[in-house]
Structure 1
Amino acid sequence: MIFHKSQKAGAFPGFFFLTVWLLAGLRAQAQVDAPELTNLYALDKAPFYHGVASGDPLHERVIIWTRVTPPRHQQVQVQWKVATDAAFKHIVQKGQVLTDSSRDYTVKVDIGGLRPGKTYYYGFEALGGHSMTGRTKTAAKDAKELRFGFVSCSNYQAGFFHAYGLLAEQEGLDAVVHLGDYIYEYPAKVYGDTTLHRFHIPRHEVVTVKDYRQRYNQYHLDSSLVKLRAKYPMINIWDDHEIANNANREGAANHNPSEEGTYQQRKQSAKTAFFEWLPVREQQGERLYRAFNFGKLLQLVVLDERLQRDRPPRNIDRPRYQDSTRTMLGQEQRDWLLNKLQQPYRWQVIGNQVVFGGVNIAFQKPERPRYMDMWDGYPFEKQRIIRHLRKRVSSQVLFVTGDFHSSLALDVTEDYLNPASYNGESGKGAIASEWVVPSITAANYDYYMPMEQAREIARLHRLPQYNPHMRYIDLTKHGFVVLRINRKEAVGQYFYVHDLADPQAGGQAGPALKVKHGEAHMQIIK
């Protein structure tokens, strides 16, 4: 789709001078961006090499985004338009905004005065060029059915992003929710597939604001991601790799203060680039957890479980594990969440970074039967939320979770290993449901071990003596989840790509799991 601008056909001299200007600008681009990045720029997209995006849809508002790349450091005036049609014959909003190097030439406009549940088209002009046309949608107030795409864990070096492209081909989505690990901080040739030659830029580990900006710049040149961002509004939440591996309030496993400066400086640099390069509505204090309502049918809550949390314990036998004051959310966010869950929506969907329902791996590591990096590492706060879920009157809660690089579907229970509180066969005792989405590309189990061994571990996970609450598991595939919700039921379907190394390989639908309203027990649809 093209953001239309009147032109005379066959105007060869104008085309010639435009081509000369573009070539000169591309050569001069090193003044603004690193040569490694400008080598990836498609000349015909100048100066909007990174496409367009929209996000954080409300009933009457949505954010539109782009990045304009000038031939030299300068302040740039960017015009924007929003219309009800792709040809821009019926413009409902227009304006202009300035950008410069202080925002890395990104543009973000919060458009108000729109109508609920309506599709709009938008585009930008600057420096004599025009962007592609984006499509977006405001949050519905009275929809009978809603559909969302859920994605997570997109490591540029681990494979092509064609899962994003396949998701863009899904029709009728209300939004795409990215659950985090949108970028990875690692240097080139670390944690990925070197045979693909998709090496990170900059080549070193990202630490400074310049580094993070370059990494987002590179990711947003991927054609599949450009396609998805232009078609649907996105709701983004960070996980840990937007900063550093296993990040928490105090630090990160992949941060070395003696070589990389203070963790607080690095965190602030990462947050700056995140808010510049993504269509996220900036709140007071750069708080990221927030909620979106789609009429009385659904409220979507997205949480920040990395930058708010205390450092997790190493195992269940450590004193830190027994500390009842330790928190995943922080008091302010926890109180906010509990208040949101009291509100009378038919469904409440929680966009969640780490697994809430729990995974028992005693068969694999008897000395470490729980993943401490998940909600199981914060048992007192987890139980507090579970008690709150038991008291709900009208809303039914669904967790949709990233981070794990695998597909899991779980009944959320008070204690899945206690037959008195949960029956895995009937689902009696289930109080919520959880879909864990696969990664777009980030390594899953067959990255670390042979495929047959990974499949055997998946089989052991499903044994009733370990995880009776687990309804489905796959540890080797990559893709996304589409969640469809109406008054009667919620259905989450998995979709998988065939081959990360071949963007033309396509994909296929995986299993779908259904939850009826009033029954938290998940069932695979045959």
Structure 2
Amino acid sequence: MKKILLALALCLGGLYYGQAQNQRTRIVKISRTTSGNTSQPLQSYFDQNLAPFYHGVASGDPLSDRVILWTRITPDNHGSIQVVWQIATDPQMQNVVNSGTLTTDETKDYTVKVDAIGLQPATTYYYHFSALGKNSLVGRTRTAPTTNVNNLRFAVVSCSNYQSGYFNAYGNIAERNDIDAVIHLGDYIYEYATGEFGYSDELGRGHQPNNEIITLQDYRIRYSYYRLDPKLRRLHQQLPFVTVWDDHEFANDAFKNGAENHQSNEGSWDKRKSNAFKAYFEWMPVRTNTLATNRIYRKISYGNLVDLIMLDTRIEGRDEQAGGGLFRKSTAKKLEARARELARSRTTEQDKLTTLLREFMPYMVNISHNNERNDKALTKSEFEFVIATLVKWVKARKENAEIKTTPEFAKLRGLLLKAQKDNPNQQARTAAERSMLGKTQLAWLKQQLSSSQAQWKLLGNQVMFFPFNGIDIKDTWDGYQDERGEIIDYVMDRNINNVVVLTGDIHTTFAADVPTSQWRYALFGNRYSAMVEFVTPSVTSSNFDEFVDLGIIGDFANFVASGLLDALNPHLKERNLNDHGYMVIDVNSSRVQADWYYMNDIKTNNNRQRYGQGWYVRNNQRYLRKARGAAPNRNLYGASAPTTPLNRRITSNNEPALLVVGNYPNPAKVATNVHYAIAQDSKVQILIYNEQGKLIKQVMNVSQEAGLYNVTFGVNDLKNGYYIYKVISNGHEVSRRLLIQK
């Protein structure tokens, strides 16, 4: 892992240093930028008119008679806060059907979560909260149906790295009036430090806290920062969510006993995992399991039409994934350097591509050195045929010509399938004792599939289920093939129809049949398919063209990768390796259709999108067909949720002009950071008091422009114990607790 020091992270694009009163204090003004290098308005991050409900409202896990309602209070001072909630059938909150009072405090990070019961099925509701004399935004939600259901629609999303781009997909979904619920398949947040995965100076959307998140306070602040994003806040306000985590809510490539991005010098994995669990259940509108607190796999029924079966393929039972990957990093860098060298040469594009393929393909396939035919390697003449056909395929793809049905393409597929290289850890990856779900969850899944009375069984699954030949990805179900085979056999042996897998994680669009046997499927087609799978693209996280850089010559990376995937995966019907967006799943009694929508741009804040393509599976069939267009729209909801709280003016000079997000690390040893925003130009003070209320230290007293700030100051001069720090601006004070623990 590459951890970036705080000082370095703060030097990255979009940061301006001010003056402080001692050498150990550093003030940083954070200006988020677009690709045009123009500052975004402060209101994008801190809407003072929402105080103290800056993070908006949310709902989730809708059942036929109840739904989870969520908000978060940002108080000025510590202490228990009483919160009133109401749920009604109208956005003006006149026809209230249920209400209640509860309390929150710092042990819950001032989050509020209530299971509103006594509701009617298939009904749109509106809700809000009141605390500290103020109202929250009004949210909109919808309960699940119980009886005959004609149609359902779900928006499916995953992989929303704040550093990689704007959440334009969230903004577009929020404006749709046809969605029953948003299914988020994980990677809702990312754990990396500012400047690491996905960050660019051009965009300047860094993380808070700046460091990689490890402590409970770290995870809480990261969720808080994401939830201040106006498009995510608006989407939560408008539609209920059904969520599961993937790895980045914990750390990259997590499993039950560790993670690739967790090192021994970062403390106990169990402690870090516990921190991530607690922050997730505090900040997400998900129902807590009463039998197992941190268990997230569950079923949500939508009448007789859909059982939505949400799996945990990451933390609950996953054994450590074995090694995999197409290249070592040194090999990838060598190929990249070679590709760039070729790109600068004066040869033709065809010659460049041919040369690069000759150097690239030996990493993919076995080649016979003595030119003798065998069933696991290419002869020299077969290798030349593969190179020539791939070059021809790239040209045909650019001209939108279809060659997949030609004899040449069939021969290419056969040669690549026989000669593809096995990963040295392949046997370990498919060992029978290696589990993705764990015994308890696997047994639960089988029971849900066999007992379901719904016509369609939708599996909310984090990582790719269908076999993926050509690129060895250790983190998918390919690393747990025996357990995948057990699930497929269970479905086929019991003749369970209408199973549809919904997947995120991989930052690409895929539509695929899931074969019972890859060889039989390649020979005899979709009669050997068990179910189908739809994979949603990332909201912002890096795609193939942004993440895998092998030195692109023209469209080499895209076209050749697509060609190899087509050749090696006859069950793969659709792939888009480059576009960000979301997927809409439309369900009726005759078919399930997936439609993909892509953002024109995620590097600027905009609402431009386009329709990509659609695929569907018919009732009691197990294979995909191409759709002619998007499924017809419908008007599910009445009024949208209001953009401002009830009984509140849009602007007011009396509103608090100061938001303190928090401080990290807390406990602090050497230094800590205070992250805050001011809505007006003012003098800002940060003062430290001991528990007896005595002023111990003045951290800063400077005039600042309106904006978002991070202040770093040393604590070596403070003894161990609890302190109170105050941030003061324009006569408004916010107090927080600080623990010094050296």
TM-score, normalised to structure 1, is: 0.88
Q: Secondary structure at the match of 2:555?
A: helix
Quote the Cα distance in structure 1 between the aligned partners of 2:217 and 2:207: 14
Q: Secondary structure at the match of 1:378?
A: helix
1:456 aligns with 2:456: no
Q: Secondary structure at the match of 1:143?
A: coil
1:35 deviation in Å? Answer: 10
C-alpha contact (below 8 Å) 1:423/1:429 kept by paired residues: no
Q: Secondary structure at the match of 1:512?
A: strand
- CA displacement, residues 163-215 of structure 1 (integer Å, 9 cap, x when unaligned): 00111122221110100000000001111223211110000000000000000
1:370 aligns with 2:469: no
* Aligned equivalent of 2:442: 334
1:225 aligns with 2:232: yes
- CA displacement, residues 85-133 of structure 1 (integer Å, 9 cap, x when unaligned): 1111110001111001100000000011111111100001111211111
Distance 1:446 1:212, change over 3 A: same
- CA displacement, residues 345-386 of structure 1 (integer Å, 9 cap, x when unaligned): 21000001110012111xxxxxxx532211010111111001
2:152 to 146, 152, 166: 146
1:482 to 570, 576, 584: 584
- CA displacement, residues 319-367 of structure 1 (integer Å, 9 cap, x when unaligned): 5224211100000000000000002321000001110012111xxxxxx
* Aligned equivalent of 1:73: 78
* Aligned equivalent of 1:172: 178
Quote the Cα distance in structure 1 between the aligned partners of 2:180 and 2:620: 24
Which has the higher Rg, Structure 1 or Structure 2? 2
The residue type equivalent to 1:134 in the other structure is: G
1:270 aligns with 2:276: yes
Quote the Cα distance in structure 2 between the aligned partners of 1:458 and 1:485: 32
1:446 deviation in Å? Answer: 1.2
Distance 1:322 1:137, change over 3 A: closer
1:181 aligns with 2:289: no
Matches within 5 A, 1:402-421: 402-416=504-518, 418=519, 420-421=520-521
C-alpha contact (below 8 Å) 1:345/1:394 kept by paired residues: no
C-alpha contact (below 8 Å) 2:171/2:607 kept by paired residues: no
- CA displacement, residues 56-93 of structure 1 (integer Å, 9 cap, x when unaligned): 01111100000011111121111110001111111000
1:111 to 111, 116, 127: 116
Q: Secondary structure at the match of 1:455?
A: helix
1:442 to 536, 541, 562: 541
* Aligned equivalent of 2:93: 88
Quote the Cα distance in structure 2 between the aligned partners of 1:143 and 1:271: 35
C-alpha contact (below 8 Å) 1:178/1:236 kept by paired residues: yes
The residue type equivalent to 1:446 in the other structure is: D
1:238 aligns with 2:245: yes
* Aligned equivalent of 1:306: 314
1:395 deviation in Å? Answer: 3.7
* Aligned equivalent of 1:215: 222
* Aligned equivalent of 2:718: none
* Aligned equivalent of 2:575: 473
Q: Secondary structure at the match of 2:189?
A: coil
- CA displacement, residues 190-247 of structure 1 (integer Å, 9 cap, x when unaligned): 1122321111000000000000000000000111101110111101100000000000
Distance 1:505 1:278, change over 3 A: closer
- CA displacement, residues 4-42 of structure 1 (integer Å, 9 cap, x when unaligned): xxxxxxxxxxxxxxxxxxxxxxxxxxxxxx998999421
1:421 deviation in Å? Answer: 4.4
C-alpha contact (below 8 Å) 2:58/2:240 kept by paired residues: yes
Segments of 5+ residues of structure 2 without an aligned counterpart are: 1-27, 32-41, 325-422, 629-742
Q: Secondary structure at the match of 2:258?
A: coil
Quote the Cα distance in structure 1 between the aligned partners of 2:94 and 2:178: 23
Q: Secondary structure at the match of 2:107?
A: helix
* Aligned equivalent of 2:125: 120
* Aligned equivalent of 1:430: 529
TM-score, normalised to structure 2, is: 0.63
1:462 deviation in Å? Answer: 4.1
2:597 to 495, 499, 503: 495
C-alpha contact (below 8 Å) 1:358/1:375 kept by paired residues: yes
- CA displacement, residues 290-309 of structure 1 (integer Å, 9 cap, x when unaligned): 11011111100111111120
Q: Secondary structure at the match of 1:332?
A: helix
Quote the Cα distance in structure 1 between the aligned partners of 2:448 and 2:583: 24
* Aligned equivalent of 1:353: 462
1:457 deviation in Å? Answer: 3.6
* Aligned equivalent of 1:365: none
Q: Secondary structure at the match of 1:213?
A: helix
* Aligned equivalent of 1:22: none
Q: Secondary structure at the match of 1:165?
A: helix
- CA displacement, residues 378-415 of structure 1 (integer Å, 9 cap, x when unaligned): 11111100101113445410001000000000101122
C-alpha contact (below 8 Å) 1:458/1:474 kept by paired residues: no
The 10-residue stretch of structure 1 (218-227 or 394-403) with the greater mean CA deviation from structure 2: 394-403
Quote the Cα distance in structure 1 between the aligned partners of 2:566 and 2:159: 27
Q: How many residues of Structure 1 are paired with residues of Structure 2 in the alignment? A: 481
- CA displacement, residues 36-56 of structure 1 (integer Å, 9 cap, x when unaligned): 899942111100000100000
C-alpha contact (below 8 Å) 2:497/2:622 kept by paired residues: no
1:143 deviation in Å? Answer: 1.7
1:503 deviation in Å? Answer: 1.8
C-alpha contact (below 8 Å) 2:596/2:611 kept by paired residues: yes
Quote the Cα distance in structure 2 between the aligned partners of 1:231 and 1:423: 48
* Aligned equivalent of 2:304: 296
C-alpha contact (below 8 Å) 2:529/2:623 kept by paired residues: yes
Q: Relative contact order (alpha carbons < 8 A, sep ≥ 6): 1 or 2 greater?
A: 2
C-alpha contact (below 8 Å) 1:182/1:242 kept by paired residues: yes
2:260 to 234, 253, 262: 253
Quote the Cα distance in structure 2 between the aligned partners of 1:482 and 1:392: 29
Quote the Cα distance in structure 1 between the aligned partners of 2:94 and 2:138: 13
Quote the Cα distance in structure 1 between the aligned partners of 2:272 and 2:92: 43
1:505 deviation in Å? Answer: 5.1
1:521 deviation in Å? Answer: 1.3
C-alpha contact (below 8 Å) 1:411/1:522 kept by paired residues: yes
Quote the Cα distance in structure 2 between the aligned partners of 1:146 and 1:322: 37
